[in-house]
Chains A and B, each alone.
Chain A
Amino acid sequence: KQEVTQIPAALSVPEGENLVLNCSFTDSAIYNLQWFRQDPGKGLTSLLLIQSSQREQTSGRLNASLDKSSGRSTLYIAASQPGDSATYLCAATYNNAGNMLTFGGGTRLMVKP
């Protein structure tokens, strides 16, 4: 069974810190790895998508990397701000899964002023 894991489940950091969120997946036959942000009581906002042929994607202060051989993706947030406080979810699309997403459990991030 294809599984996606995010550790830690929760993280608290002071404002201004650079931080890394981790995502692990069990199957290297991955099409895409997508990172989402979810604010409390809200839907999911797509942040970055990395295709299997790519190693990283960047958007502003966010950088996501993908290492298929080790089954890992990381989301790097530079100079964190209180407004970055949210739950971050990663999700994988596999070659044989009809474009469906398999989600990790998420990391709940709090950035303290």
Chain B
Amino acid sequence: NAGVTQTPKFQVLKTGQSMTLQCAQDMNHNSMYWYRQDPGMGLRLIYYSASEGTTDKGEVPNGYNVSRLNKREFSLRLESAAPSQTSVYFCASNFLLGSYNEQFFGPGTRLTVL
């Protein structure tokens, strides 16, 4: 099992450029999440997908779109990148059994917007 994988690992964009961050999990989890991590701000939820075919906004969704392509894959798109979107982006998936809810994280994508 590869767990949760993310591509690319690093990316530098110019203001106004667009890009898509890819995430895939091979654990057959229903729910997937996108977080960003910034110094002094901790991890904040951008979007999540409770199940295939559904997506919902998290705490900081502005400037982002997501697609739950299938059960395995959940992508995050920046349509017009801004310097404020410089961050480390983490994808996670969720093992849920009753009230047991454990999240597993990918290695992250380090994005710099110039």
Q: In the complex, are the beta carbons of A104 and B42 less than 8 A apart?
A: yes
Tell me which residues across on chain A come within 8 A of B105, comparing CB atoms: 36, 43-46
Tell me whether A43 and B102 are in contact in the complex, defined as CB-CB below 8 angstroms, given that A99-B31, A100-B58, A105-B42 are known contacts: no
Are B106 and A43 touching (Cβ within 8 A)? yes
Does A93 count as interface, using CB distance less than 8 angstroms? yes
Interface size on A, residues (CB 8 A): 25
The answer on a CB contact under 8 Å between A34 and B103 is yes
CB contacts (< 8 Å) of A31 on chain B: these are 99, 101
Contacting B99 at CB < 8 Å: which of A52, A100, A101, A106?
Answer: A52
Of the listed stretches B12-20, B43-51, B61-69, name the one at the interface; the rest are far from the partner chain: B43-51
Contact present for A99 and B94 (CB under 8 Å):
yes
Q: What residues of chain B lie closer than 8 Å to A98, measured between beta carbons?
A: 48, 50, 56
- Of the residues A42, A53, A106, contact of B108 by C-beta under 8 Å: A42
Identify B43's interface contact among A46, A52, A53, A103, CB under 8 A: A103
Q: Knowing A31-B99, A43-B90, A44-B90 touch, does A103 contact B108 (C-beta < 8 A)?
A: no
Chain A 91-113 interface 0/1 with B at a Cβ cutoff of 8 Å (1 = within): 10100001111011110000000
Task: Contact check, A100 vs B42: say whether CB atoms are below 8 A apart.
Answer: no
Chain A positions 9-61 with a Cβ under 8 Å from a chain B Cβ: 31-32, 34, 36, 41-46, 49, 51-53
**Does A32 lie within 8 Å of B43, measured CB to CB?**
no
Given known contacts A103-B42, A104-B42, is B102 in contact with A46 (CB within 8 Å)?
yes
- Per-residue A-contact encoding for B102-114, CB less than 8 Å = 1, 0 else: 1111111010000
Contacts of A106 in B (CB 8 A): 42
Residue contact B101 to A42, C-beta cutoff 8 Å = no
Q: Mark B85-96, 1 if CB is under 8 A from A, else 0.
A: 000001010101
Q: A42-B108, A44-B90, A44-B105 are in contact. Are A99 and B99 (CB under 8 A)?
A: no
B101 and A32 contacting across the interface, CB-CB below 8 Å = yes
- 10 cross-chain pairs, A with B, having the tightest CB-CB distances, nearest first: A44-B105, A43-B107, A103-B43, A43-B105, A105-B42, A49-B102, A103-B42, A93-B101, A43-B108, A32-B101
